[in-house]
Structure 1
Amino acid sequence: MSKKLIKSGMIVSVMTLISRVLGLIRDVVIANVMGAGVMADVFLFANKIPNFFRRLFAEGAFAQAFVPVLSEYQVKDEQQAEQNDKQNAHEQTRLLIAQASGTLGIIITGVTLFGMLASPLFVMLFGFGWFIDWLNDAPGGEKFDLASNLLSITFPYLWFISFAALTGAVLNTLGRFAVAAFTPVLLNIAIIGMAIFGSPYAESPAHALAWGVFLGGLIQFLFQIPFMYKAGMLVKPKWAWHSEGVTKIRKLIVPALFGVSVTQINLLLDTVIASFLITGSISWLYYADRLLEFPLGLFGIGIATVILPSLSKLHSKNSPEEFSATLDWGIRVICLFGWPALAGLMVLAQPIIMVLFMRGEFDQQTVLQVSMALFAYLSGLLSFMFIKILAPGYYARQDTKTPVKIGIIAMVANMIFNLMLAPFIGYVGLALATSLSATLNAWLLYRGLKAQGVYQLSAKTLIFIAKLVLSAGVMALVVYQLSSSFDVWLTMKFLEQVEQLTLCIVAGVASYLVMIILLGVRFSDFKVIKR
């Protein structure tokens, strides 16, 4: 099991790395074209709304509800295959996919059409500060009109990506992780292409980027169809609201709609409050979040993608010991990469932001503003990663109610933290509130699994984590000694900055590896061992 998980995790992580690198290039292009001004704020807002619903309907709640049910059907398929009834077993799984895709399709089509027609309503809800300015003909009111226009272009992305997420979930459950992990690369290519080649022909750079989001969703949707056909899972969608499989998914998805998307809801609440803050706040939070998403997506989401189907099958096979051991394996893996990522970004935040984004409309003051938000987000990096591993421990057992209760507590806490911190430290307070609520969320998820007797951190894992923390601390000291001050970085030419940054990163990675080896960390620590 551990070898299969490691192999699958590596495949997803490599594909995710390609996607994240292109994502950074995309953000570099956006920063160069629009900086962190009015147009950037509005485009990032218009891109955030459909992405929020994507995580809510597609990659979030639907995947968490659909994958366990699909895994259950596949376990039944395997049992029937052993009884030489392979055709019937295959047809049952195909039928579930047809019913789920048809039912989801009708719902998503309605939501997408409503979102396009009612885009001003969404802007009013999530950009209320802009709406107030628009009503009063105050400076900044133009943001409301532009955001409404861009949102009507980006909202269809939800329709395309919802089906891409469904087919990706099917392929992941079949053990074909590379296709779904590679798909986001296409979105980044589309946005970069429109930013470079479409901007001269569009009404504004923001409009070109919005059409890039639209095209990216379409390409992602079309890309996965041949792989579904090859897997024998390309079926004709059908409405089946009351079928057994869809009913089970519905019962799981309703609470999961909230529970799995607490982080995204928190980020949207941040956007609402940020619309009342100074121009640039949304952009500063966005660029900081994108840098946070690099290690989170590469390691946290990569491992979580692999672990959910595995946990679902283990639960269906009634293997509680291996279920717990698999969760323990996930925690060890994300800690191995999470702690050095946290330490490295803390020390090199400003040089990294400078090298990636400081050109065109993105100046040194923006570097400082983004770095402050990044420091606040980084305080919750490990918590974000833990959530990605611990939440599947509930969803794989088809328990979506407990994460909902925890999610409500975390969201209320985030709102309280926002109100406590934003008046004093502005957008940095919003980022810090998100990290604090994520830490609370992760702790409650772990406490719940422990109380249910499902999972508890083993003594071996606690010692293992202590070794990683110590190694990451040594790495941070090494990098700090090698890195120059911010003022010195500003005097360097771009190639000199790249050379110095590369040296710091290589030295940091080397010192971390040396330390973990000296402290006795071995490959055997990543085997899934039954307790």
Structure 2
Amino acid sequence: MNLFRAIATVSGITMISRFFGFIRDIMVAAVLGAGPLADVFFVAFKLPNLFRRLFAEGAFNAAFVPQFSGILTERGRHRAREFAEQALAVLLWSLLIFVILIEITMPWIMFIFAPGFATNPEKFDLAVLLSRITFPYLLFISLVSLMSGLLNSLGKFAAAAATPILLNICLIGAILWLINFTSTPAHALALGVVIAGAVQLFWLLFHVGKAGIKLRLLIPRLTPPVRTMLRRIVPAAVGAGVYQISLLVDTVVASLLPAGSISYLFFADRVNQLPMGMIGVAVGTALLPLLSRQLSAGDSAAAIHTQNRAIDITLFLSLPAAAALIVIALPTISVLFERGAFGPTETMATASALAVYATGLPAYVMVKAITPAYFAREDTSTPVKIGLLAVLVNLVLNLVLMGPFQHLGIAAATSASAWLNTILLAFVLFRRGHFSIDTRLKSRLPRMVFATVIMALFLYLGMNGLNEMLAGGQLEKCMALFLLVSGGLIVYFAISFFIGVADKE
């Protein structure tokens, strides 16, 4: 399994997904703006989406993939399929019960998730209703994560990586068509979310069958392998999903701030998620199965080499991405979202949040290249302990910074906690002898920073030189942003090749 080829496959498909995602977000911003209705929908969307990110991008891969890969390698495809069927049965019935309980208790859940809405009964009731519509998405997407882990273990990454595209297409369809049959655009979007979950599940069921594995629905039994998997899921969710848990904390705290704060953070995070998805999720998805196989074969040196290359790739791509989002945050948000109900005030508030979020981008991405080293060794407890500390720091910083800096304080707290999480995870691996920075990474890192600084300076000067275009109409703004982004890419990669950061290897 070639690490770079696997990362390129997932990253390329993720780029397509993010393109559709931006179309979706542009349309959502146009119909909802960044006011109370948008805040309500984003809370309803985030509730199941939090679990989506934890399960699809963290816990299930961390718990299921090493175990399934081990059974596949040591006992063959038949035994691996039996384990997948046992996991499917237990997961399905557990989720059904969980979803029903949450649906019943949704008003109390909303008091926890968005306590600031309680002061406005109409807003609170709408949040409860929309959350009840969207929450069954969790059932579908958790089963999707099982199918994704199975396909990733078989070295088939494309179908699973394409599932977010289906979500974006369904939400775009909800805005274009379903909106005509609902009382508000938020209702149409909520229905679009749950429809997307069903579409994603049937998509992966088809591809699992195409891969030669026909899954039967069995009576759930807590067999020893299933018990092992379940013991690992919850800690893995915390360990791999610190950023998502931090966003949950952000939402809770932001509900106490003025109307629009949740929306500013949501739209800023959506832009920040582009490089996170293209780089971080792609690296983590491709890295875990490869590390699991190398460690199962007893080849620790190869595992350390693989992890160095994964960190190498993440830093090479995330450092310039972070610098670019900081420098050109304002024109980026203006071009993407400033239309319809989303005006200049919302643009400025969202751009400021994006610039702050972006300071933590390399940490958000790098953690995806570090945590697989724990999960491949079947250690889920250490990332949990470190992750809980990071979440606690995030909460404390939120409470300290929200007063003087409003929603920007929340973004800063999330960034700081992400860096703490990443640094501690890397330090513990180093102390255990499971990781060391090799000569190649040591020599390349300073040059990456140099190339990033030059690119950032180019973007800053270029933005000043394109002031008139950036203050013009929508077409002029788009052209100016295109010139900045393409110019920044050319400068970064040209400098990188010239000073030896990028090479054929």
Alignment match, 1:435: 415
Alignment counterpart, residue 468 of structure 1, candidates 442, 445, 448 = 448
Alignment match, 1:355: 335
Contact 1:128 1:275 in 2 (8 A): yes
The whole-number CA distance in structure 2 between the counterparts of 1:475 and 1:182 is 31
Note the C-alpha offset of 1:402.
0.6
Note the C-alpha offset of 1:225.
1.2
Alignment match, 2:400: 420
> What is the 5 A alignment of 1:224-239?
224-239=204-219
> What is the 5 A alignment of 1:106-255?
106-131=93-118, 133=119, 140-255=120-235
Note the C-alpha offset of 1:489.
5.2
Q: Please tell me the residue identity of whatever aligns with 1:270.
A: D
Cα distance change on mapping 1:251 and 1:259 into 2, 3 Å: same
Cα distance change on mapping 1:202 and 1:388 into 2, 3 Å: same
Note the C-alpha offset of 1:265.
1.6
Q: Please tell me the residue identity of whatever aligns with 2:432.
A: Q
Contact 1:351 1:486 in 2 (8 A): no
The whole-number CA distance in structure 2 between the counterparts of 1:55 and 1:290 is 13
Note the C-alpha offset of 1:481.
1.3
Alignment counterpart, residue 19 of structure 1, candidates 17, 24, 37 = 17
Contact 2:331 2:470 in 1 (8 A): no
Contact 1:262 1:407 in 2 (8 A): yes
1:93 matched to 2:91? The reply is: no
Q: Please tell me the residue identity of whatever aligns with 2:394.
A: N
> More deviation in 92-101 or 121-130?
121-130
The whole-number CA distance in structure 1 between the counterparts of 2:283 and 2:241 is 18
SS in 1 for 2:434: coil
State the superposition RMSD in angstroms: 1.5
Contact 1:186 1:219 in 2 (8 A): yes
- What whole-Å deviation, never above 9, does each CA across 1:467-514 have from its counterpart, x for those lacking one? 111101111111211113897456311111111111111111111111
The whole-number CA distance in structure 2 between the counterparts of 1:503 and 1:373 is 23
The whole-number CA distance in structure 1 between the counterparts of 2:114 and 2:428 is 35
The whole-number CA distance in structure 2 between the counterparts of 1:390 and 1:493 is 44
Note the C-alpha offset of 1:240.
4.7
The whole-number CA distance in structure 2 between the counterparts of 1:486 and 1:141 is 47
The whole-number CA distance in structure 2 between the counterparts of 1:223 and 1:121 is 34
Alignment match, 2:5: 7
Contact 2:469 2:480 in 1 (8 A): no
Contact 2:254 2:407 in 1 (8 A): yes
- What whole-Å deviation, never above 9, does each CA across 1:138-197 have from its counterpart, x for those lacking one? xx3321000000011101100111111110110111011000001110000000111121
> More deviation in 237-246 or 36-45?
237-246
Note the C-alpha offset of 1:298.
0.6
Cα distance change on mapping 1:200 and 1:485 into 2, 3 Å: farther
Alignment counterpart, residue 280 of structure 2, candidates 270, 295, 300 = 300
Note the C-alpha offset of 1:417.
0.9
SS in 2 for 1:483: helix
Contact 2:497 2:503 in 1 (8 A): no
Cα distance change on mapping 1:477 and 1:257 into 2, 3 Å: closer
Aligned residues: 505
The whole-number CA distance in structure 2 between the counterparts of 1:487 and 1:509 is 20
- Ranges in structure 2 where 5+ consecutive residues have no aligned partner: none
- Ranges in structure 1 where 5+ consecutive residues have no aligned partner: 78-88, 134-139, 527-531
Identity %: 38
Cα distance change on mapping 1:479 and 1:293 into 2, 3 Å: same
Note the C-alpha offset of 1:393.
0.7
1:71 matched to 2:58? The reply is: no
The whole-number CA distance in structure 2 between the counterparts of 1:183 and 1:114 is 27
Cα distance change on mapping 1:203 and 1:11 into 2, 3 Å: same
Alignment match, 2:459: 479
Contact 2:60 2:149 in 1 (8 A): no
Q: Please tell me the residue identity of whatever aligns with 2:23.
A: I
Alignment counterpart, residue 31 of structure 1, candidates 19, 26, 29 = 29
The whole-number CA distance in structure 1 between the counterparts of 2:17 and 2:282 is 12
Contact 2:182 2:188 in 1 (8 A): yes
Could you tell me the TM-score, scaled by structure 2's length?
Answer: 0.97
Note the C-alpha offset of 1:239.
4.2
